[in-house]
Amino acid sequence: MRSRTGSLQRIVIGLSLLGLTLCCAVLGYYLAGWALLDAVYMVVITIFGVGYGEVRPLDSPALKVFTILVIVAGTSASVYAVGGFVQLITEGEIQQALGARRMSRGIDTLKEHVIICGFGRIGQVLCRELAQARQPFVVIDSNPERVTLAESLGYWVRLGDATEEEVLQAVGIQRAKALATVLRNDAANVFITLTGRGLNPKLTIIARGEYTTTEKKLLQAGADQVVLPATIGGLRIAHMITHPAAVDLLEEKFSRGLLNEQLAEIEMQLLDLEISTSSTLAGQTIGQLEVRGKQTFLIVAVRRADGTAISHPPRELVLQAGDRVVVLGYRDDIPQFVQRYSQRRELKYRGAQS
């Protein structure tokens, strides 16, 4: 920041000196008896080296010396200002290169560290917790904006694709003690797990899975533990609903706010769907509803019209008009048909858009 400020000051000083030189030069020729337009023309072709001949003959030694001074002063001011522009452009690139080199050297010194693949919401929460625990870690992400964010927080970070062996080797996977792949792409998580296990057989690998069907694949690829955020979140919400003190959880503003803040950390969204008499969802089973949604969400609870709460509803349970269905899923994955066929009341979380 300091060097950038110095460049701007250099540009301002150079332009100011150039402007002062132009004014003094025009005034000098004007006082020598030249017409104002001739004086301006003479100054321009003299300072900027156009190469045209003099407007009028320089018939006195004083005028010749004055012209020499105009050339020296004008050229120096111009070069000084242009140098400021060049410095302003190049110093950013130089600092970026030096920063990348410094980052690379810092990562090379890490031992017994944790490699985090993905700096999304879950990755950010994980980094914050590890930083508080003073556990060394390095982040890999292919999004330049996220990498910049990680750098601003003081984290070791590498821009690149974590599925590539070269990137994992660059962050010292052979020296690492654990790898956490928390991307939203299950296929990428499986590939990273498989690659990481091949590069370091002793590595502890924790992988994120979007769907329950991916858990087995991740374990077969070499993951020691598999975390399914949707399943964990659904079980927790269902547990809260079944407790007497939390029967009205969805109606309590304070409790709802705390819950949604926690859900926002893992990119999840909670919907409280009311089945109206005109909804095509009335009369269908839980299983049919999940099939139509291509299993991209979980139904964690059903509250009947009489207030009875059913947690972990069986797939055979038939939905009735007046029921309220608590659906948990990722913000981008909850199907559009739920919004079309049901009266929806969305439980907003911090950062959500209405």
- Residues 337, 183, 128: CA angle, nearest 5 degrees: 115
Angle, helices 212-221 vs 186-199, to 10°: value is 20
pLDDT at 224 over 80: yes
* CA-to-CA separations, 185 to 118, 192, 199, in angstroms, rounded: 10, 11, 21
Q: What is the pTM of this model?
A: 0.49
Q: What DSSP assignment string belongs to 162-223?
A: TTSHHHHHHTTTTT-SEEEE--S-HHHHHHHHHHHHHH-TT-EEEEE-SSHHHHHHHHHHT-
Largest CA distance in the chain: 109
Residue with the larger pLDDT of the pair 7 and 227: 227
Question: If you ran DSSP here, which 8-state letter would residue 323 be given?
Answer: -
What are the pLDDT digits (tens) for 186-202?
999 999 999 999 999 99
pLDDT at 266 over 70: no
pLDDT at 92 over 90: no
- Confidence (pLDDT) at 268: 66
Residue 353: band (very low, low, confident or very high) from pLDDT cuts 50, 70, 90 = very low
- Which residues lie across from 297 on neighbouring strands? 329
pLDDT at 182 over 80: yes
The C-alpha atoms of residue 165 and residue 24 are separated, in whole angstroms, by 65
- Confidence (pLDDT) at 163: 92
High-pLDDT (> 90) share of the chain, %: 24
Q: Are strands 156-159 and 178-181 parallel, antiparallel or unpaired?
A: unpaired
High-pLDDT (> 70) share of the chain, %: 70
Mean pLDDT of the chain: 77
- Could you tell me if residue 22 is left (phi over 0), alpha (psi between -120 and 50 degrees) or otherwise beta? alpha
pLDDT at 69 over 80: yes
Residue 322: band (very low, low, confident or very high) from pLDDT cuts 50, 70, 90 = confident
pLDDT at 47 over 90: no
Residue 249: band (very low, low, confident or very high) from pLDDT cuts 50, 70, 90 = very low
Residue with the larger pLDDT of the pair 271 and 100: 271
Whether 252 contacts 221, CB under 8 Å: no
What are the pLDDT digits (tens) for 163-173?
999 999 999 99
Residue 244: band (very low, low, confident or very high) from pLDDT cuts 50, 70, 90 = very low
- Residues 140, 144, 150: CA angle, nearest 5 degrees: 55
Q: Are strands 324-330 and 297-303 parallel, antiparallel or unpaired?
A: antiparallel
Helix (H/G/I), strand (E/B), else coil: 305: coil
Closest CA to 322 of 282, 285, 272, 280: 282
Whether 309 contacts 301, CB under 8 Å: yes
What are the tokens at 60?
């006195």
Out of 187-191, 212-216, 218-222, 306-310, pick the least confident: 306-310
The C-alpha atoms of residue 282 and residue 287 are separated, in whole angstroms, by 13
- Confidence (pLDDT) at 81: 79
Helix (H/G/I), strand (E/B), else coil: 70: helix
What are the pLDDT digits (tens) for 23-43?
998 888 888 888 888 888 888
